[in-house]
Amino acid sequence: MDHATEPTRGLRPEDADRTRFLARQTLDVLSPSNSPLLNPEIIEETVRILGRNLTGQAAHFAHDALKTMTGQRDPAPEGYRIGEDPACTPGQVIFRNDLMELIQYAPQTPQVQTRPILIAPACIMKH
């Protein structure tokens, strides 16, 4: 697929990159490892625990679907205002541009890791 989506004469490089990206996303969606019915690790675990993983997830899905249909929300933690507080942990914006803000959160324990961790939501990683 990578070879089939290489830039060709008359095609702008950014269009080739976009095509390659969409092809990669399509292949990832169709990958057997992303399907519970075709992934051998999921099948093995499902058999080992007698399907409790599937029934548990189905219960979570039903609970979330019911809350969505009825407009219910989980209560916010004490001192946290939904839609107003971006996080419960003190922090500060250390970088900002048109696409994102990088927030450095204050440590909450006496010991911290020596290397920072960057957490990016899935919608950001795709662009």
pTM: 0.42
Q: 52-91 burial string, b = 16+ CB within 10 Å, else e? A: eeeeeeeeeeeeeeeeeeeeeeeeeeeeeeeeeeeeeeee
Instruction: State the pLDDT confidence band at 127, using cuts at 50, 70 and 90.
Output: very low
Distance from CA of residue 55 to its chain's centroid? 23
Sign of the CA dihedral running 15, 16, 22, 25: negative
Per-residue pLDDT tens digits for 80-107: 676 676 666 788 899 998 877 888 888 8
Phi and psi at 93, nearest 5°, equal: -75, 120
Instruction: In whole angstroms, give the CA distance from residue 36 to residue 84.
Output: 38
For residue 14, the model assigns a pLDDT of: 86
CB 109 within 8 A of CB 115: no
Nearest C-alpha neighbor of 19 from the set 9, 28, 11 = 11
Q: Are 76 and 86 in contact (CB under 8 A)?
A: no
pLDDT in tens, 7-55: 788 888 888 888 888 988 898 888 888 888 899 999 999 999 999 999 9
